[in-house]
Structures are given as C-alpha cells and as structure tokens.
Amino acid sequence: MRWSWVALGVVVAVLAAGATNPVAARPVQMPGAVEVLALEPNSADIAVLRWGRREGMTYRLCFNTEYSFTGLGACYDLGPSDDWPVRVPEYDGGIFYLTLQECRLPDCAEPVRAGAVGRRTGAGAGFYATALPAADGRVRMSAFAGSGPATISFYRAAAGAAEMRTLTCPDIPAGEACYGAELSPAGARVGAGAALPGGREQGITFQLRDRPVIYLMFDDGTGIVSGGKYLMQSVLDEFGVKGTFFLTGPAMRTYPSAVRALVAGGHRVGSHTWSHPFLTRLSDAAVGQELDLTEQQYRATIPGGTLRPCFRAPNGDINARVLAVLHARGYQQYTQSISSEDYAGVPAARMIRTVLAEAKDGASISFHTQESQTATALRTIIPALLAQGYQFGIVC
C-alpha cells in the first residue's frame, strides 16, 4: 500500500501529540495468587473462608474429597467476595479440600490451596476441624465441638500420634470452638481429635502438602533370615512399605530363597560387592571383578535380573577412581543421608531418635540386615514416618 504525504503527516502529528501530551492510562491488573487469611468454624455445619480481595477481581472456590483433586468435587464462582461460608461434610470421616482462584474473566490465576475441613460423627465426641497451611510451613487449626464437654487435641502428624500432640483444649462445651492452634507439621499431615470425659478419642487427619518421600537401604545380607525371608523384609512387609537391599555375593549364594522373596515382594536388590573389601585399596581390575562376580551370582539366583545401577560401597570406601570403574559397568553409588549406626551396636532407642530427628523429604537411611535391634527400631520408625505422611520409595 502507498502512503500519501498527507496521510503520513497526520500519523506523524498524532504520534508527536502523543509524545508531548501523554494520556495517563491505568494499567489493567491481571489476576494473581490470592492471599487466604483464615478458615475457621462459624456454626455447627458452616466454616468461613476469608481472603484478601483485590479491586476488580472475582474469585472461584473448588472443593474435592481428595488432596490430589482426583475425587468427587465441584467449583463455584463467588463474584467479588472476600469471604464465603463453607459447608462442612455431613458424613463421618468426610473431608473437603479447598482451592481458591483469583480471576479477571476470562483469565484466572493458578489455584491456591485454601485448607481443608473434615468431620467426625461416630460414637463419642462428634466434632469438625479446619486446617489452613501458611506460606512459612506452619498450619493454623481450629475445631468445633458437636458434643461436649470435649477435650480437643491437635497433632503435628496423623491424629492420635501421642508424641506429636502439640496443643489441647479441655472442656469445650457443645456448640463452641477451639480456635487458632499454630502447628509446625513434622511431614505432610496434621490431625485433630476430640474425646468426651472418660471416652476414647476419635480423630481426623488432613494431608496439606505433597507427601514427602524417604528411602530405606539395607546393607550386607548376612542374616537374619527366618521362614525364607530376611527379618528386615518381614518388618517392612508388616507395614506395606518397600526398601532396597544391597547384598554381597556370598549372602545371595547362602540365602537364595530370601533374595527371591525380596524380588517377589517388590523390594529392590543392589550390589554390595563380593567380598566386602575396602575398594580404594584394590586395583581397577579387582574392583571390576568384585562387581562382576556379584552380578553373576544375582543372575544365577534371579534369571534375567540385574543389580544395575544399584550399588553401595562397603564401609563407604570410595573415591573418583573407583567411581569411574562403577560407572563404566553401569553402576551408581547410593550414599545415605542418615546413618542408623546399627553396625556399631547402638540401641534401638538411639536409632529411633536419630532417624526421626533427621528425617526429611528425599532422605535415604542406611541399616543392616543382621542387627536384631534394627528390627525393633523399624517397628517404631516406620509407623511414625507414615503418621507424618511419608511414603517409602525405592532408591534405585
């Protein structure tokens, strides 16, 4: 298209006028992350959600029966509100997980977790509780007593985990609430419970963040075996969790049925060398032979199987040269972040304290297969971590 000089002059004049006489324009705010301020009991069947409202924005609230938002749910457009009555589930054990979105239609920001509300109606003290996570990791909880006088307790883990109880409200009359318990969760879960005088507590547990993962690793393989299984596998199986067992070649040769039981049970088997040597004192060829003999023994026990890439160096003795030999044969070294120190004969109580104090998302904990006190410790460690919301992964 050909511009005329007259038209071009008009464009230049308009641009010049705009440059010298700017028109003040108000930028259009886009929706952002809404600040959820409170989720608290209001009456026997209603909790109230409050948030910071911004001018020109509308809000959208979603409910779901699962933290993952894969259960039953619904969403509601709330308009330009800054609070909303949330209906408490009517059935025993029911939980609603909430998200809130800020919108300037047709655009909405990503949903923000807005807490959870759940009810217990079974025998004993009927109640409901609310839980709202904060950006700093703490959780604010409240509870409403449906019957009373009730003692209401709040937990840093699943309801009923006595060692995780952090606050108790005694003698709450029916129709009243205990507000504002501030908790620092040990993991992904918090809980609340209520009990009438002389009665048993009933509780409800909320998941408020993605479940952290922890890894159990067991070295050696020289016992303890009973009924064709390693004792440590039997303990893990009691709780339905998995582990990784790094075994020596001779242990696999001595206890082939235990190795097969590990594989059948969904556990992972890795290499702990053939003769349990200090690897940095061996030549490259000798390190390679340790790996190859152990792999051959495993394949003889589990046809078609392989230990790769799972490996742990005996005594933690490893350096860059040994690592190069490992990598050339397809292995990776898996080092613990927490040591139970069971090899040193420490008592179960000390192992429990160490592991629970140091547990965090992604931690890997080393144990041994032949220490009887380890089985005792695991029967406390595993349920405690499950109560905190941990899931147990296979490290390799």
CA atoms within 13 A on the CB side of 147: 16
**What's the confidence (pLDDT) of residue 200?**
87
pLDDT at 23 over 80: no
Which residues span the domain enclosing 61? 36-207
Q: pLDDT tens digits for 25-50?
A: 445 577 788 999 999 999 999 999 99
**What's the confidence (pLDDT) of residue 163?**
82
Q: What's the token pair of residue 324?
A: 């190069």
Mean of pLDDT over the chain? 89
**What's the confidence (pLDDT) of residue 351?**
96
Average pLDDT over residues 1-15: 30
Output 237 or 164, whichever has higher pLDDT: 237
Confidence of residue 61 (pLDDT cuts 50, 70, 90): very high
Residue 262 has φ and ψ, to the nearest 5°, of -60, -50
- For the chain, the distance separating the N- and C-terminal CA atoms, rounded to the nearest angstrom, is 66
**What's the confidence (pLDDT) of residue 334?**
95
Same domain, 273 and 339: yes
**What's the confidence (pLDDT) of residue 17?**
34
Average pLDDT over residues 13-30: 42
- Cβ pair 220, 276 in contact under 8 A: yes
Same domain, 187 and 234: no
Confidence of residue 393 (pLDDT cuts 50, 70, 90): very high
Q: pLDDT tens digits for 275-312?
A: 999 999 999 999 999 999 999 999 999 999 999 999 99
Structural domain includes residue 325: yes
Structural domain includes residue 22: no
Q: Residue 135 burial by CB count (10 A; 0-12/13-18/19+): exposed, middle or buried? A: exposed
Least confident of 7-11, 90-94, 111-115, 382-386: 7-11
Structural domain includes residue 366: yes
Average pLDDT over residues 110-130: 92
pLDDT at 52 over 90: yes
Same domain, 279 and 349: yes
Check which CATH number belongs to the domain holding 62 and give it.
2.60.40.10
Query: Which residues, in sequence order, are bridge partners of residue 75?
Result: 62
**What's the confidence (pLDDT) of residue 167?**
85
Q: What's the token pair of residue 362?
A: 């992604």
**What's the confidence (pLDDT) of residue 8?**
27
Structural domain ending residue among the three candidates 207, 222, 251: 207
Same domain, 222 and 80: no
Distances in Å between the alpha carbon of 24 and those of 18, 21, 27?
11, 9, 10
- Cβ pair 219, 366 in contact under 8 A: yes
Pairwise CA distance, residues 43 & 46, whole Å: 5
Structural domain ending residue among the three candidates 207, 223, 257: 207
Q: What's the token pair of residue 381?
A: 């460690």
Confidence of residue 209 (pLDDT cuts 50, 70, 90): confident
Q: What pairing do the DSSP bridges indicate for beta strands 202-207 and 189-195? A: antiparallel
Query: Which residues, in sequence order, are bridge partners of residue 217?
Result: 244, 366
Average pLDDT over residues 337-341: 95
pLDDT at 96 over 90: yes
Same domain, 217 and 203: no
**What's the confidence (pLDDT) of residue 238?**
96
**What's the confidence (pLDDT) of residue 113?**
95
Same domain, 63 and 93: yes
Structural domain includes residue 7: no
Check which CATH number belongs to the domain holding 312 and give it.
3.20.20.370
Structural domain ending residue among the three candidates 207, 233, 256: 207
pLDDT at 136 over 90: no
**What's the confidence (pLDDT) of residue 344?**
92
**What's the confidence (pLDDT) of residue 9?**
34
Helix 320-328 to helix 284-301 angle (10° resolution) is 40
Same domain, 140 and 271: no
Least confident of 13-17, 37-41, 131-135, 360-364: 13-17
- Cβ pair 277, 290 in contact under 8 A: yes
Task: Look at residues 208, 143, 139 and name the one whose alpha carbon lies nearest to residue 179.
Answer: 143
Domains of the chain: total? 2
- Cβ pair 169, 179 in contact under 8 A: no
**What's the confidence (pLDDT) of residue 13?**
31
Same domain, 200 and 217: no
- Cβ pair 124, 145 in contact under 8 A: no
Same domain, 225 and 167: no
